[in-house]
Structure 1
């Protein structure tokens, strides 16, 4: 039941292109729960020879079956246009690599926007510190979510700057 609830997240948030980062995050949640996420990071083992030990054949078959399942999750959770473009890709990793190439500009734009929001945010006169800090933490979270690498000292500097 929980698995179907998780996979329904992908159905509700179908990849259209504009939402790649969110779709990828949801896909990784589903694949992790289903114990399939390894196919995105682990290359396919070579096809075993006929005389290979049974455990080698089973490991190969497990990877192939897991990859097929991951591909199905991916293909069914994207727009029909993207499905048509990716239905002939052999592995889930190939699909993800292509998406990373297609949509990498989005991450850069979102990272720049998040950092700009953080750098330019200032506390409004008369506003509560708690309210202000929640907003600052939201901007920091956006920056981290979009892979901005901000060390602790720089984070503190940015936070203090928002009070000026």
Structure 2
């Protein structure tokens, strides 16, 4: 089966993304360079040196194979030089493609180490906020992991899954416990699919909880005043009782001049009235 060979066109991208003399864009430059080399089946050029030319007595087939490789090395060398800023071009114009790639790595590996540290820190400190989109969080975590791979850090899938589970908010606690208790052995894409399904159920539970918190239920009979009753479907307030009438303790009797009663309740007055000793018309 013949392989499809993509025409190698470095100029289109390297003109816009030349490697700066200070190496500040080294990681991006290498990543883009590899993408083009892989598409053109020439990534092997930066993985190993070309090697010596076959001896004079080598067969034509051996010579042809070596010559095709030499042509690839020459094409990649010119393309890489084209993708360097002037200062680096002058420094590496006599280097082969593999040698140039390796020395650039040594020069700018400090930049790569700093970038690796920063991406790793983001990956391990990333936390999903409550009620946010799990899909967006998954894309972010996946992006950090892919970036680490490009920087030469290949974490085992189990470690990546543990980190993702650790980054989930409290609402996913039951999901995490169930995943670990059952000893599930899922791939990263399978875990992503499970999290998306769990998000739907968690949102439903959250909505039910919010409804229960905001709905108030009144007890029967609560709020009714004692003594109230309904008449013809209208509520009638209970009538207030009149206070009992009677003389106050400090009341002075007009008849006997004693306190605690009035004339009409005066024992002496009532006795005199019965004996006819009280003149008619006498009032209190």
For the residue of structure 1 that corresponds to 2:27, the secondary structure is helix
Aligned residue among 11, 15, 18 for 2:19: 15
1:63 lines up with 2:69 in the alignment: yes
Q: Check whether the contact 1:7–1:30 (CA below 8 A) recurs between aligned residues.
A: no
- The corresponding residue for 2:117 is 112
What is the CA distance between 1:42 and its match in structure 2? Answer: 3.7
1:150 lines up with 2:163 in the alignment: no
Report the CA distance shift for 1:87/1:127 in structure 2 as closer, same or farther (over 3 A): same
Q: Flag the structure with more relative contact order, 1 or 2, with Cα contacts below 8 A and sequence separation at least 6.
A: 1
Q: Check whether the contact 2:123–2:144 (CA below 8 A) recurs between aligned residues.
A: yes
Say which is worse superposed, 109-118 or 55-64, in terms of deviation. Answer: 55-64
* TM-score with structure 2 setting the length: 0.51
Report the CA distance shift for 1:52/1:129 in structure 2 as closer, same or farther (over 3 A): closer
- The corresponding residue for 1:50 is 56
Distance 1:154 1:20 in 2: 28
Q: Check whether the contact 2:8–2:40 (CA below 8 A) recurs between aligned residues.
A: no
For the residue of structure 1 that corresponds to 2:18, the secondary structure is coil
Which of the pair has more CA radius of gyration? Answer: 2
Q: Could you list the runs of 4 or more consecutive aligned residues of structure 1 that deviate by over 6 angstroms after TM superposition?
A: none
1:35 lines up with 2:53 in the alignment: no
Distance 2:63 2:136 in 1: 58
Report the CA distance shift for 1:135/1:162 in structure 2 as closer, same or farther (over 3 A): same
Q: Give structure 1 stretches of 5+ with no counterpart.
A: none
Q: Of Structure 1 and Structure 2, which has the larger fraction of its residues in helix?
A: 1
Distance 1:154 1:41 in 2: 28
For the residue of structure 2 that corresponds to 1:3, the secondary structure is coil
What is the CA distance between 1:69 and its match in structure 2? Answer: 0.8
What is the CA distance between 1:108 and its match in structure 2? Answer: 1.8
Q: Give structure 2 stretches of 5+ with no counterpart.
A: 1-5, 170-284
Report the CA distance shift for 1:158/1:72 in structure 2 as closer, same or farther (over 3 A): same
- The corresponding residue for 1:122 is 127
Report the CA distance shift for 1:50/1:126 in structure 2 as closer, same or farther (over 3 A): closer
